[in-house]
A and B are shown apart, each in its own frame.
Chain A
Amino acid sequence: MSGHSYDAENYWKANLRLIFGSLVIWFLVSYGAAMLFRPMLAGIEVGGTDLGFWFAQQGSILTFIVLIFFYAWRMNKIDEQFGVSEE
């Protein structure tokens, strides 16, 4: 195995770590806060309702947007770092 292929492997691992971290948050806001943990968050009030309801109707969507932009930004950095970006 050449040094390059070792680098490529690390690049892919860095990508997988980033995806995994992002999907944990993706899961926590939608399936977590908005559904499974909603009863536990019932005490936290937001505009006439509870935090879980807000996550179900708005909060998770806003988080999704931040996640995708964060991923794109981080990945571009990682591309550069490993010298695999297109230009």
Chain B
Amino acid sequence: MSQFAINVLFVGASFLLYIGIAIWAKAGSTKDFYVAGSGIHPITNGVAIGADWMSAASFISMAGLIAAGGYSNSTFLMGWTGGYVLLAMLLAPYLRKFGKFTVPEFIGDRYYSDNARLVAVICLIVASVTYVIGQMAGAGVAFSRFLEVDNTTGLIIAAIVIFFYSVLGGMKGITYTQVAQYCVLIVAYTIPAVFISLQLTGNPIPWFGFLSEHTQSGVPVLTKLNQVLTDLGFNEYTADVDNKLNMVLFTASLMFGTAGLPHVIIRFFTVRKVTDARWSGGWALVFIALLYLTAPAVGSMARLNIVDTIYPDGTDAAPIQYEDRPNWIKEWEVTGLIQFEDKNNDGRIQYYNDSESYADEAESRGWEGNEFSYNNDILVLANPEIANLPGWVVGLIAAGGLAAALSTAAGLLLAISSAISHDLIKGRFNPNISDKGELLAARISMAVAIVVATYLGANPPGFAAQVVALAFGIAAASLFPALMMGIFSKRVNNVGAMAGMLSGLALTLVYIFVYKGWFFIPGTANLPDTAEHWVMGISPLSIGAIGAVVNFAVAFAASRATAEPPQEIQELVESVRYPRGAGAAQDH
């Protein structure tokens, strides 16, 4: 069977499974549609959160980032998991107790302000739409590489599948498909890692393999990797970072952002009770960790494999002849994601860091510049080919990458459509709409959101690459503090919440736009986006944490200066704090 046929088989089978689930789990009411009837088991919910959370970025890009940055990119590992500690202790149980359908609904009720709810809706939509574009674009890339269809055709196929299970089944359909998608993606991620770990270290568990001895050289994998990288003029893989302030702030932004992203929070509304919300936070992190603990192994081993491929006789010997390059390099060259240019015309691939400190060494070896470059995103996708694994593993990776992109896209689309149908249509324009009418409105908004996301995925605006900064910055600086203060402070009032959200948001957006261009329009940046121009060395990616601090400070100050919230709001805060709601309710 050809590789193409194998890929079609794996992807096709997984899609049929998702559609089958959709038909089985049809939503009958708005409660089914928005929160799956609030009857999901905490472990099932943990699995679904895992798939919801792990996007194309986690599956495809993260290991590549770690391979390229080594220690410095550990921020993604800690940031995207540490946020769950905040979610499970500071937000999820209380929001579940509140017992409504959407995140803006809590903000609107708690701050007794339709305007606060509207600000939350806008934040939610901007964060989720930018995020969903990345997923659709990722699905398009996976389609075009593995199924040999063009990007747009691939996207339309993906959109039809998502349409099927999310419009029919709502949160109920999405939950059970996400469980299936999690299984596909985790198997797809783990199998190549196990094989590669066995090849390099003899240890079948990649988590331990990356800390064990490299069989060929007899030194630990990370020591070996540090050696070959410094031989070629690169930084040591485990080298420390000078700018710790920025590293701390970037990690904090990712953590606050993770806790404040609405598509993850609403997954906690699907469980039956408050204790289940606490447990599902733990289970979610277990299922996420199965991938996140493997990612550092995938990153380090792939980096070592790439160097070994190019320098088969060691970094002191001559690199490989271009004519003898392995098949995976040829295939990825076609996509333009691997590039080679024979600068010194010796027919060999020189791969090294052509920095000043390495200039003498390069000259003595007759090298005239680095000739080989690859896009970090290909690392996970090409991994099975780099390690010479059989064709079915490649098919599995294709299905896994698509599962990661589709499951996250569906979760985001549900958050968007429920904000539109529940917070805007029912909450603002037509409060008397019937349950049936609202369910129809929810389905229509979902369909429209899919069409818009597909269009934007096929024609990604210039800012698509900046998604991380924008989505996490908005969630960290506006939603996370507003939600947390709504639970932990009775004193923060409507004025404080609005002032806090808007100032946190303004600071974050302005700082990002100054370096990345206003509304990401090319050429409109005021300052170059490089470390020496950042205020106190703080990158625009790290500003969300400062935005959150500003939000907290402004909200407290403005609340102090104005009247305290009415009695019934203070009672609402009391009631979300107690699982049974005994406290305040029985006092009166």
A binding-site residues for B, Cβ under 8 Å: 1-2, 4-5, 8, 11-12, 15, 19, 22-23, 26, 30-31, 34-36, 38-39, 46-50, 53-54, 56-58, 60-62, 64-65, 67-69, 71-72, 75-76, 79, 83-87
Contact = CB atoms under 8 A, between A and B. Distances in A.
13 contacts: A2-B587, A8-B574, A15-B577, A19-B89, A48-B221, A56-B74, A57-B66, A68-B281, A68-B285, A76-B275, A84-B582, A86-B273, A86-B274
Given A8-B582, A60-B82, 13 more contacts: A31-B251, A36-B248, A39-B240, A47-B211, A57-B296, A60-B78, A61-B77, A64-B82, A64-B84, A64-B285, A65-B285, A68-B278, A86-B275
> Mostly helix, strand, loop or mixed at chain B's interface?
helix
B292 interface: yes
A69 B89 CA distance: 10
A35 B580 contact: no
B23 interface: no
A23 B85 contact: yes
Contact of B78 (A12, A34, A48): A34
Interface in B547-587: 574, 577-580, 582-584, 586-587
A56 B77 contact: yes
A62 B579 contact: no
Interface of B: 66, 71, 74, 77-78, 81-82, 84-85, 88-90, 93, 207-208, 210-212, 219-224, 238, 240-241, 244, 247-248, 251-252, 273-275, 278-279, 281-282, 285-286, 289, 292-293, 296, 574, 577-580, 582-584, 586-587
B567 to A, nearest CB: 14
A26 B259 CA distance: 14
A61 B244 CA distance: 20
Contacts of B71: 53, 56-57
B238 A49 contact: yes
Contacts of B279: 69, 72
Nearest to A47: B211
Given A47-B212, A71-B88, A86-B580, A30 B251 contact: yes
Given A19-B89, A79-B275, A84-B580, A49 B281 contact: no
Contacts of A64: 81-82, 84-85, 285
A62 B578 contact: no
Q: Which of B208, B211, B212, B286 has the most CB of A within 10 A?
A: B211
A19 to B, nearest CB: 5
Contacts of B292: 61
B278 A35 contact: no
Contact of A71 (B82, B248, B278): B278
Contact of B238 (A50, A58, A69, A83): A50
Nearest to A26: B85
A36 B223 CA distance: 23
A69 B282 contact: yes
A38 B240 contact: yes
B89 A35 contact: no
A54 B279 CA distance: 27
Nearest to A45: B220
Nearest to B281: A68
7 closest pairs, A vs B, by CB? Answer: A48-B220, A47-B211, A56-B74, A8-B583, A72-B278, A68-B282, A48-B222
Contacts of A61: 77-78, 81, 285, 289, 292-293
Contacts of A49: 211, 220, 222-223, 238
A87 B579 CA distance: 10
A38 B274 CA distance: 38
Q: Which of A39, A54, A61 has the most CB of B within 10 A?
A: A61
Contacts of B78: 30, 34, 56, 60-61
Given A36-B244, A69-B282, A72-B282, A22 B211 contact: no
Contacts of B282: 65, 68-69, 72
Contacts of B93: 75
B582 A58 contact: no
Contacts of A31: 248, 251-252
B583 A26 contact: no
Given A48-B222, A57-B77, A58-B207, A22 B89 contact: yes
Contacts of B289: 61-62, 65
Contacts of B275: 72, 75-76, 79, 85-86
B220 A47 contact: yes
Contacts of A22: 85, 89
Nearest to A56: B74
B584 A8 contact: yes
A2 to B, nearest CB: 6
Contacts of A72: 88, 275, 278-279, 281-282
Contacts of A47: 208, 210-212, 220, 222
